Amino acid sequence: MEKVNLTCIECPMGCRIEVEVENGKAVSITGNSCPRGKMYAENEVVCPMRVVTSTVRSKSGKMVPVKTDKPVKKALIFEVMKTINSLSCNTPIRIGDIICENISDGANLVASGNVD
């Protein structure tokens, strides 16, 4: 059995969570203040996931803020960034408009800001 110390990043509280891991799975989780923290810890010891936020240069030259609509594998962040930087889009664009479907593991890349 292995002990892992984590800081939960799900909210600004930043709870310190201790996880006991057996065969690559969390068997005991302590220190979290809410269920979101438990879920974070469970995932974090198996396969860390992150939402990626960045920008895409639109055809008009204006930068469009973008994010993945679900967390993607942390290990694939740079791959996702490479795709993001190869994309372009039209403006005007609205929050939630899909810029790239299934950029990684079923997550879409969507606009996270309005650009006229």
Interacting residue ranges for ligand SF4, rule: CB under 6 A: 8, 10-11, 13-15, 32-34, 36-37
CA 72-33-10 angle, 5° bins: 25
74 interacts with, out of ligand SF4, other proteins, none, CB within 5 to 8 A per kind: other proteins
Answer yes or no: are the C-beta atoms of 114 and 93 closer than 8 Å: yes
Q: Using CB under 8 A as the criterion, which residues of the chain lie in contact with other proteins when the complex forms?
A: 7-12, 14, 48, 50-55, 57, 61, 63, 65-67, 74, 77-78, 81, 85, 95, 112-114
How far apart CA 86 and CA 57 sit, in angstroms, is: 9
Q: How far are the Cα atoms of 7, 84, 88, 103 from residue 100, in angstroms, in the given order? A: 31, 8, 10, 6
In the complex, what is the shortest distance from the CB of residue 6 to other proteins, in angstroms, rounded to a whole number?
8
Closest to ligand SF4 by CB, 34 vs 75, is 34
Closest to ligand SF4 by CB, 32 vs 68, is 32
